[in-house]
Structure 1
């Protein structure tokens, strides 16, 4: 094992492997933890790294930890990291329910935590946030989706947690990025109404087509649509203000601003831009925080918990067929 303090990556699915590759690209020593001993050799062959099955000693020796397991396995690993004072990069969503989340928040006070909502690193959206500033937003529409069986070619979508709402999957939880964007762009949410449906042909134990209405503390009302059945990938936003309509396409990497018949492209990604650039940028920021703890989180634990609370309020709204008002701390 490398004598340098390493980053411990927990989880070896598609997102765990992405984080391992990006950490190596950024020059960080990496080891991985896998719960199943028979799978340990896979990562060693793919990345040339040490892979362990004994979590506690690996965590004790680590400089920081990346938790990229199934969502319903997040809490024990994250809590262990916080109890040892280890900087934590925790994949979204924070968890599949509220159990132990308050304990995690208490333990994390004053510590380095990032939540993996990497769309905040998108240059188009950074420009959009500057454009909106403190201006009066009338309302917005956010959408994201694609057939779940197209997400990870070569794997059985039915076997993963993404196909199971109870484990933190389903469209509502797994595509929580758009909920996080709503919080980042428009501030805290006061009320939630949701219709969580199964509309597609895939074998998903949960919602595959979800619609949310959010009323923010500012009075702004927005619509979020998330799905696991769209035949083509989509990620888009439309924001209406008194002066302009802003439209953004994740697929095209284009942010436009319309007024009357005039439509101007105000930001676009270069041809070399790739989706992984978002993950790489967010991980680079996390590593920078290890050297400079005064740097703010790109997506804090408090932000991640706020998004989780909206998910849970949406499930309650669906169950009780009503608007749910979020409790304020």
Structure 2
């Protein structure tokens, strides 16, 4: 198969979808890999490194899209890439369709095959291609939150871990999945007082067993959230409903309960955000303030640490990329239920229920497009 890796062009997106090691694995299996010049540069990988393993370098994204049967990306296509995508072309990337009606309609119009990293799902309900970036984003959420608590950037002026004789910050984490777990570990390691909330009692029991003593687990409810935000300095939104919009756990009217300078980090922004006042921001302009509350809603947080993120992502995606390249998307999806659940839009039809429901679009059973 001909595999194409274009350079990511979303604002401050520094990752690349395939490392030279990944390209080597594909070339060794007889596949052709085309990489746009400079695609790996911001992640620390040169064109020469790709050429050394047998990949070919092309000058423009158009050349890559024109020749490739499968496009492997990191972030969803943006407007200037829509017209580059061809009918029947397989595009394997993070799409997060439920957060963008424009993108959904553009991919329907393209007649491409859109296989989304974020909905590839194992039999145990885990999301193998979301996990590595969730791990990065969870840890980064605390790192960024700690920075924006500083007074020069309008935070409360609180050191996350405190010092002897001064209380540590109170950190509230909404969601006990991968993001929330890694955020809790980081915040606890820095010495903060952490409250971790989830709606699953079995999950809270698991977390209570593995977390250090400065992490308290609390059942999530509107009432409990309101009580916790009154004393929180940093609030991290870490909820996920695979392929669907995130629920709004903190509404606009709840901001009045918060201290001025409280920081809210919405890691769920890719899925529409779990705070009512959230809107996507960029690494260039990461925050804004509403009612004296600092909002950090960067939609591609792991893009700020591209080497770590790129290697972690390729470690997870490469086995699936190889399956797709070896077998073609139809056979691969028939043989792998993981990949089957990754199909979101196929030849103009929405085949993932959460996406159809998000934008009130007709839903087609995935079995129909595989027939």
Report the TM range for the smaller structure's normalisation. Answer: 0.3 to 0.5
Larger radius of gyration: 2
TM-score using structure 2 length: 0.39
TM-score normalised to the size of structure 1?
Answer: 0.43
Q: Comparing both structures, which one devotes a greater share of its residues to strand?
A: 1
